[in-house]
Structure 1
Amino acid sequence: MNKLFKVLSASFFTLALSFTAAAGHHGMKKDIVDTAVAAGDFNTLVTAVKAADLVETLKGKGPFTVFAPTDAAFAKVPEATLNSLLADKAALSNVLTYHVVAGKVMAADVVKLTSAKTVQGQSISIEVKDGVVYVDGAKVTATDIKTSNGVIHVIDSVILPK
């Protein structure tokens, strides 16, 4: 497990610094939505959150743990599927809330789990393979991005409810 933290820490130090810099001045942390906006690599996620009317929820007290797909992760989704989701608020909300777990689950806790119940209601599978954490098959590429109302873990794919 120590190897896992060393690998994740070393590999994503730069990304964490960009999130920290994006977190605002005077040491104040931004909420999940503002942190994602400031990071600049979650434009599609932010657009989807707005389209699903989930902004106020994710700006709420929380705490929430968000497994956040990057723009590159959304680029893997066929354009027709993505456009269909963006046009169907209920389906979009279903997919987005599948990326959210109630509570603040830090990486040290995630690696001890085999699953976690999402806000959507279903559970995501969690596994560690060769020191890398996967959530429903999506690779976790950055961890423990702290926000005022939870934590963000970055994933390389959009995960879909079963």
Structure 2
Amino acid sequence: MPISNQLKAAAAASVLAMGGFALAAATPAVAHNHGKHSMKSQPNIVEAAMGTGVHDTLVAAVKAADLVDTLSSPGPFTVFAPTDDAFGELPAGTVDALLQPANKGKLQTVLTYHVVSGRIPAAQLSAAIKQAGGSYEFETVAGETLTASFDGHTIVVTDALGRETKVVQADVKTTNGVIHVTDGVFLPSA
């Protein structure tokens, strides 16, 4: 099944069960029409990333991976969005190599490793960490596992390679989900 269909199928699930704790996928925000005209109150995930000024590498990668339409669809999705500085911390040449057309499949895997089906605000993720005893595993759309824990009051996410990434800004609301900005890039095990 193509990645975009996997994302759409994953988003269709009404409950995301992770590690014995169910995180309900909340209903997407609805724009209300108050008479004169209807206006979208929030951008979608891709539009929000395009507007930050710190996610240019992520946006370029989403475009190169042909995931713009998918991540602009109704979702909902939770995206852990690495900043440009986070991509800059990867070994030299990694980003350039991933952006090559020949590596599109690998790029899709890396990007979908940052996506979880459903709208999962930080408070809900924090509650899951506490309920799980301080370390909470959950599955991404790529089928890989991430582990969330705390460093003080900050949510820290550990990838399959043991790299720790902090959520530096939580709960950026979008019409089709939520973005948690991170200071690192998750790398899958394969």
**What do you get for the CA RMSD once the two structures are aligned?**
1.1
Partner of 1:39: 52
- Note if 1:108 corresponds to 2:123: yes
- Note if 1:161 corresponds to 2:183: no
Q: How does 1:10-159 map to 2 (within 5 A)?
A: 28-87=41-100, 88-111=103-126, 112-113=128-129, 114-136=136-158, 137-159=164-186
Q: Deviation per CA, 1:85-143: give whole Å up to 9, x if none.
A: 11110000000000000000000011123022101011111111222111111011000
> What stretches of structure 2 of length at least 5 have no aligned partner?
1-38, 130-135, 159-163
- The SS at the match of 2:50 is helix
> What stretches of structure 1 of length at least 5 have no aligned partner?
1-25
Question: How many residues in Structure 1 have an aligned counterpart in Structure 2?
Answer: 137
Q: Deviation per CA, 1:64-83: give whole Å up to 9, x if none.
A: 00000001101101231111
Partner Cα distance (1:59, 1:128) in 2: 30
Partner Cα distance (1:64, 1:149) in 2: 6
More helix by share: 1
- The SS at the match of 1:146 is strand
Higher radius of gyration, 1 or 2: 2
Partner of 2:5: none
Partner of 1:17: none
Are residues 50 and 27 of structure 1, via their aligned partners in 2, closer, same or farther at CA, if it must alter by over 3 Å? closer
Query: Which letter does structure 1 place at the counterpart of 2:146?
Result: I
- The SS at the match of 2:59 is helix
